[in-house]
Amino acid sequence: MITPMREWTANHFERADRFVVLQMEAITLIVMQAEVVALEPVLDVQVMNTQALPNYANASGFLPLTAGACPVYTLDENLNTLDQIPPTYRICAVMRNRPNDYALSCVAVHLLSRNEVSLHATPRSMLNARSPILQLLVHDGKLLLGTTAAALHAHLDARGNADVISFEQRIKRIKS
Amino acid sequence: MINAAEAWLVECGHARVFISALNMLHVIEDSTMRYRVPLTPAHCNSVLVWQQRVLPVVSIAELIHQPTRTPCKYVCVLGWQDIQAGTEYGVLAASAFPQRIMIHDSHSVTPAAELAEAWQPYALCFVEYNNKVVPIIDPARCFNASQFDRQSGIEAVGMIA
């Protein structure tokens, strides 16, 4: 039996007891609590060395954790990555995505329990199979964008590895 | 026989449509209840949190590929009956407060080919109002179309349960 990925993830949101709200300047993301490994201050973020970490070229910096360098991403309202962390961002949430843990810089982070949020499906006219936004949640009349560490990582990875070539070049590659 | 009915004229930039008075539930001034959702199609990229519901907000200007810079200060909450899903809700963004107008059968017109093509997926019929041809739209068609997926050819992601 085939179950849509979106439905499968929604069931996980339904069953989760606690959530972590990741407040950014223009948007607010929400993930299940089990998706967040640790919280680290933005002050600990070090400048990105793209030569040392070539796979994380779109990260704003990295956290030197005991397990190794952890890339830190900063997102704008369109979920595009920013080169620098804005001064209002104070905390980083380290996301569980073994073996590729990563961190998201945030203005603030706080916890919510299941009974403080209501779950809503993404309206059909807004569906985008490539979006990491898998569930819409409402808390105190405010919209929170539900995602998972894996879905967000896939989105960030797709952006970092995007192969921007011309249409002609692509045709040549296919033919060769 | 019904030969006249009330409708609301909704404007969004240069795009204007009529909505049956039966479908119009509420007009509210756009407020902090409206939230943008990233990576969604241009014609439907925000939602309205209204009475414990999350409703998609459609821009009719973007729907027919005539984007406008005119700010949409108002939102119109619409409701309609779906055979399978029951009562459905959606929101239209409007740049001016909608006008309630009586439409008669005699106002019905055949639109120019270009206009008919632009509105064909969403229009029930066309009427003439103030020397302009305006479609009467079916809200169900506006809110059920996942235009983004059709344009990009994206198919639903599935997994084995």
Tens of pLDDT, residues A82-110: 999 999 999 999 999 988 899 999 999 99
Q: Chain B contacts of A124, Cβ < 8 Å?
A: 143-144, 146
Task: Kindly list the domain boundaries of chain B, sorted by start residue.
Answer: 4-159
Q: ipTM exceeding 0.85?
A: no
The SS3 assignment for A128 reads: coil
* Model pLDDT, residue A10: 60
The SS3 assignment for B147 reads: helix
Q: Chain B contacts of A24, Cβ < 8 Å?
A: none
The answer to whether the beta carbons of residues A83 and A73 sit under 8 Å apart is: no
The answer to whether the beta carbons of residues B127 and B109 sit under 8 Å apart is: yes
Task: Kindly list the domain boundaries of chain A, sorted by start residue.
Answer: 5-175
Q: Chain A contacts of B36, Cβ < 8 Å?
A: 26-27, 77
**pTM for the predicted model, two decimal places:** 0.82
Three-point CA angle A32, A38, A44, nearest 5°? 135
Nearest chain B Cα distance for residue A151, angstroms = 12
**A6/B44 Cβ within 8 A:** no
User: What number does CATH give the domain B4-159?
Assistant: 2.40.50.180
**How many residue pairs bridge chain A and chain B with CB atoms within 8 Å of each other?**
105
Whether chain A has a CB inside 8 Å of the CB on B88: the answer is no
Report pLDDT digits (tens) over B97-154: 999 999 988 888 999 998 889 888 899 999 999 999 999 999 988 887 654 444 443 3
Whether chain B has a CB inside 8 Å of the CB on A117: the answer is no
